[in-house]
Amino acid sequence: MYFEQFYLGCLAHASYMLASAGEAVVIDPQRDVEIYLQAAATQGFAIRYIFETHLHADFVSGHNELAARTGAKIYMGKQAEAKFPHIPVHDGFQLQVGQVRIAVLETPGHTAESVCLVITDEEKSPEPWAVLTGDTLFLGDVGRPDLSKRHTPAQLAGMLYDSLHNKVLKLDDRVLVYPAHGAGSLCGRNMRAERVSTIGTERLTNYALQIKSREEFIRQLTSNLPARPEYFLQDAEINRAGASALSDLSPLRPIEAIELKKLLDEGAIALDVRPGDKFAATHVPGSINIALSGQFASWAGALLGLAASPILIADSDDALAEARMRLARVGLENVSGYLKGGIAAWKDAGLNLASIQQISVETLCDRLQNGALQLLDVRREPEWEAGHIKGAAWWPLDNFRVAPPEIDRSIPVAVHCKGGYRSIIACSLLRRAGFEQVTDVIGGFDAWQQAQLAVTAGN
């Protein structure tokens, strides 16, 4: 048996390909499907089957395009009510691919249609070798239960408890666990960074599997859920219908600096994808910075929304292409164009440039003691509760889509996150919202702790 995991770091998404006797199966494909076509061609396989473990909410799947380009059949849980041609699967469904057997477990909980795929390599053993758990079971966590329009979080959490204890945990402790997401994904809240585990390891170490009663499981899983981006439910519907091919996207339109200035004055969004330090040094006034490093697409989807029509600002054609691809992965397709010539062209046109001051944590400490500024922490709630800087205001970056923080606009504000990626995004949004005196803290809370500066915990 051939088996490969494809890990997409920017979405913390894992997809898989397995094959036997020259036929390949792809599980939970990302939207840009060339990676699977190339792998299959290299190995001499024909992609015949595609499985979706559920309707993904955090990214747009490539199942439609992959099926169209290969003739493969798509398999999905019967509760999905998918609108594209597919074979609905249920408990007891099995697919034989050469000497590999794929058995379906219906495991509702993260979503109603969720399934897990039990893989047996019959060439080596008649017993299951691995289980592909989708978003039902993660490493160190389980799927969030609030992504359904038809079921309450409590109802889904109860289903998830039953699915885990009555089905998944019935597997042997030696069975490998391969989930659809890793650390950083918003589909859970406590995932580990590893890419594979075992049923036995999860049984002993996964906090959610230590909860003994169904009632307590429901209570814990429905309490303090991470913010759910608006685009999650939209992506699920795109995946239910089946997304169009990436080749259908229209080419990006070059926009001259003078035209961009006019569009910005009319309310257009300029999305600068350069690194945060470059943005801080010089940028188009009113532009928003979400750097291509980190979870670019997730933050763009969460903060801009899928209906946005941003104009991209980048340093190179490669960066523009990468940004366009990553935005499409979460369903943000209506990119208006890009600043022709980048920041240099804006400067050459004689237009004003803006900058954001950046300071070290030592300088921040001195200024806080002198009462020279206010501090804004934009990390998520669990991060804040685990430890924060005394006197800081808290407004997680996820909330900026709803409204800017309620802080005094007349007092200079320094912004920090964990390591610096989110804080410069927040700074750009604050400046766009009319906050003039905004400073970014280099290295964020990590740098503050490394400098052994005072931290307080709790609320």
CA-CA distances (angstroms) from residue 52 to 15, 74, 168? 10, 8, 17
pLDDT of residue 89: 97
CB environment 36-50: b (16+ within 10 A), e (fewer):
beebbeeeebebbbb
Q: In what order do the strands lie in the sheet with 357-359?
A: 357-359, 438-441, 413-416, 374-377, 393-394
| Domains detected in the chain | 2-241 (3.60.15.10), 249-348 (3.40.250.10), 357-450 (3.40.250.10)
* Spatial distance between the Cα atoms of 295 and 423, rounded to a whole number of angstroms: 13
CB burial of 195-232 (b: ≥16 within 10 Å; e: otherwise) equals: eebbbebbeeebebbebeeeeebbeebbeeebebbebb
Give the model's pLDDT for residue 226.
79
Q: What is the pLDDT of residue 186?
A: 82
Q: Which of 10, 116, 187, 417 is catalytic?
A: 417
Cα(276)–Cα(289) distance, integer angstroms: 7
Is residue 7 a contact partner of residue 36, using CB atoms and an 8 Å limit? Answer: no
Q: Which residue has the tokens 């039953």?
A: 162
Residue 365 designated active-site: no
Q: d(Cα 47, Cα 26) in Å, to the nearest integer? A: 7
Give the Cα-Cα-Cα angle 7, 9, 115 (nearest 5 degrees): 50
Sequence length of the chain is 459
pLDDT at 184: 83
Predicted pLDDT of residue 8: 94
The mean pLDDT values, 10 residues at a time, for the chain of 459 residues are 96 97 98 97 98 97 97 96 96 97 98 98 97 98 92 96 98 98 85 95 96 96 87 96 92 97 97 98 98 93 96 97 96 97 97 97 94 93 93 95 91 97 98 95 97 87
The reported pLDDT for the residue numbered 228 is 85
